[in-house]
Amino acid sequence: MDAPVSGGDLGAQQGTLVTMTGGSEDAVESVRELLDIYSLEVAHMGAAGAGQHTKLANQMMIAQIMSGICESLLYAEKAGLDHDKLIKLLSKGGARSMWLENCGPKMIRRDFSPGFLVEHFVKDLGMVLDECRRMNLSVPGIALTYQLYQTIMAQGK
């Protein structure tokens, strides 16, 4: 079975990770008590490998959300907007996300301490692109986002 998680270092510290499992239901149930110790939720997603596919779908979403937040905050800066007011307001509307609420203020403070290492993100997005090639699926947004994260890694960030 496979059982990747989402929630980053904060989720691990708080025991609120989301665990995506793949494998037989019996296998998942045999370790559920252990998974429940550190997981807010454990979901059986299907056969072995389904947990990993779920994790990759998660990483695709996060990567593009984070890129959008970065570009939005840069735009707001150039437009002379108050970042704190912007985040407070947008967090109540359609752009609301955990990433905007938690990472947006850190970005404004120029606090780029990692919650998830860029090397792991590049690895995961590389796996996404490999799987998409195997599935004959075009994902141009992720391809560009992957290149941006590779640049960050190459710069030693």
Residues 44 and 81 in one domain: no
Domain that holds residue 23: 5-48
Q: pLDDT for 67-117, tens place per residue?
A: 999 999 999 999 999 999 999 999 999 999 988 998 899 999 988 877 778
Annotated active-site residue in 55, 78, 88, 106:
55
Q: Which residues pair with 64 in a beta bridge?
A: none
Residues 139 and 82 in one domain: yes
Residues 92 and 127 in one domain: yes
Residues 83 and 109 in one domain: yes
Residues 14 and 64 in one domain: no
Residues 118 and 72 in one domain: yes
Residues of the chain with pLDDT > 70, as a percent, come to 100
Residues 62 and 20 in one domain: no
Query: What pLDDT, on the 0 to 100 scale, is given for residue 9?
Result: 79
CATH number at residue 132: 1.10.1040.10
Residues 13 and 40 in one domain: yes
Residues 23 and 75 in one domain: no
Residues 62 and 88 in one domain: yes
Q: pLDDT for 28-80, tens place per residue?
A: 999 999 999 999 999 999 999 999 999 999 999 999 999 999 999 999 999 99
Tell me which long-range contacts 38-47 makes (C-beta under 8 A, separation of at least 24).
38/5, 38/12, 39/5, 39/15, 40/7, 40/11, 40/15, 40/16, 42/3, 43/18, 43/19, 45/20, 45/21, 46/22, 47/22, 47/23
CA distances from residue 15 to 7, 10, 37, 113 in whole angstroms, order as listed = 9, 8, 7, 21
Query: What pLDDT, on the 0 to 100 scale, is given for residue 11?
Result: 83
Residue 14 has pLDDT above 90, yes or no: no
Residues 96 and 82 in one domain: yes
Q: What is the mean pLDDT of residues 18-22?
A: 97
Residues 78 and 141 in one domain: yes
For the chain, the domain total comes to: 2
Instruction: Indicate if 92 belongs to the active site.
Output: no
